Amino acid sequence: MNKNSIIGGALIFLIIIGYSMWSAPSEEEVKEQRRTDSIARVEHANIVRQQIQDSIAFANRQDEQKSISSSQNEIIASPQNDSLAQELNFRKYGSFAAAAIGEDKDIIIENDVLKLKVSKKGGTITYVQIKNFRTYDTLPLILFDKNTADLSILLNDKHVETKDLYFEPVLNGMSNDQDSFYVAEGQNLTFSMRVYPNDNNGVVDRDRYLEFEYILSNNDYMLGFNLNMKGMYEYIMPGYSFMTMNWNMSMTGKEKDAEQERKQTTIYYKYKDADVDYLSEMDEEDSEELKTKVNWISYKQQFFSSTLIAENAFKSADISFNVNDGAHLHKYLQTMHTEFTIPLSGSDVEKFPMKMYFGPNKYKILSEYNMDLDQQIPLGWGFFLLQWINRYVTIPVFDFLSGFGWNYGIIILALTLLLKIALFPIAYKTYLSSAKMRVLKPEIDEIGAKFPKKEDSVKKQQATMALYKKAGVNPMAGCIPMLLQMPILFALFRFFPASIELRQQSFLWADDLSSYDAIFSWTQQIPLLSTFYGNHISLFTILMTISTILYTKMNNQMMSSSQQMPGMKTMMYLMPLMFLGFFNNYASGLSYYYFLANIITFSQMYFMRKFVNEDAIHAKLQENKKKPVKKSKFQQKLEDMAKQKNSLKK
pLDDT in tens, 430-441: 777 777 777 777
Residue 523 lies in a domain: no
pLDDT computed for residue 271 by the predictor: 93
Say if residue 65's pLDDT is above 80.
no
Residue 405, classified by CB atoms within 10 Å of its CB into exposed (0-12), middle (13-18) or buried (19+), is: exposed
Q: Could you tell me if 83 and 142 lie in one domain?
A: no
pLDDT computed for residue 24 by the predictor: 40
Q: Could you tell me if 270 and 355 lie in one domain?
A: yes
> 214 by DSSP, 3-state: which?
strand
Residue 373, classified by CB atoms within 10 Å of its CB into exposed (0-12), middle (13-18) or buried (19+), is: buried
Find the domain containing 620 and state its range. 386-517+586-626
What residues have CB less than 8 Å from 644, skipping those under 6 apart?
Answer: none
Residue 6 lies in a domain: no
Strand intervals (E) in 284-403: 285-290, 294-300, 304-314, 316-322, 334-343, 349-360
Residue 132 lies in a domain: yes
Residue 636 lies in a domain: no
Q: Could you tell me if 279 and 176 lie in one domain?
A: yes
pLDDT computed for residue 193 by the predictor: 94
Residue 508 lies in a domain: yes
Say if residue 497's pLDDT is above 50.
yes
Q: Could you tell me if 113 and 52 lie in one domain?
A: no
Residue 214 lies in a domain: yes
pLDDT digits (tens, 9 = 90+) for 356-405: 999 999 999 999 999 999 999 988 877 778 888 888 888 999 989 998 98
How much is the average pLDDT of 495-503?
Answer: 90
How much is the average pLDDT of 603-631?
Answer: 71
Instruction: Give the other-Cβ count within 10 Å of 159's Cβ.
Output: 15
The gap from C-alpha 262 to its chain's centroid, in whole angstroms, comes to: 10
Q: Could you tell me if 476 and 416 lie in one domain?
A: yes
Comparing 262 with 64, which gets the higher pLDDT? 262
Dihedral pair phi/psi, residue 148, rounded to 5°: -120, -5
Comparing 53 with 400, which gets the higher pLDDT? 400
Q: Could you tell me if 256 and 211 lie in one domain?
A: yes
Q: Could you tell me if 363 and 249 lie in one domain?
A: yes
Q: Could you tell me if 372 and 393 lie in one domain?
A: no
- Judge whether 211 and 229 are in contact, CB under 8 Å: yes
pLDDT computed for residue 74 by the predictor: 44
Q: Please say which residue of 354, 377, 400 terminates a domain.
A: 377
> 426 by DSSP, 3-state: which?
helix
Instruction: Please count the structural domains in the chain.
Output: 3
Task: Out of 183-197, 313-327, 446-460, give the one with best mean pLDDT.
Answer: 183-197
CATH number of the domain to which 195 belongs: 2.70.98.90
What region, left, alpha or beta, does residue 186 occupy, with left being phi > 0 and alpha being psi -120 to 50 degrees?
Answer: left
Q: Could you tell me if 243 and 310 lie in one domain?
A: yes
Residue 183 lies in a domain: yes
**Residue (of 474, 479, 289, 297) closest to 371 by Cα position:** 297
Q: Could you tell me if 259 and 174 lie in one domain?
A: yes
Q: Could you tell me if 301 and 259 lie in one domain?
A: yes
Gap between the Cα atoms of 204 and 208, Å rounded = 9
Q: Could you tell me if 256 and 129 lie in one domain?
A: yes
Q: Please say which residue of 38, 64, 87 terminates a domain.
A: 87
Residue 534 lies in a domain: no
Please name the amino acid found at residue 248: N
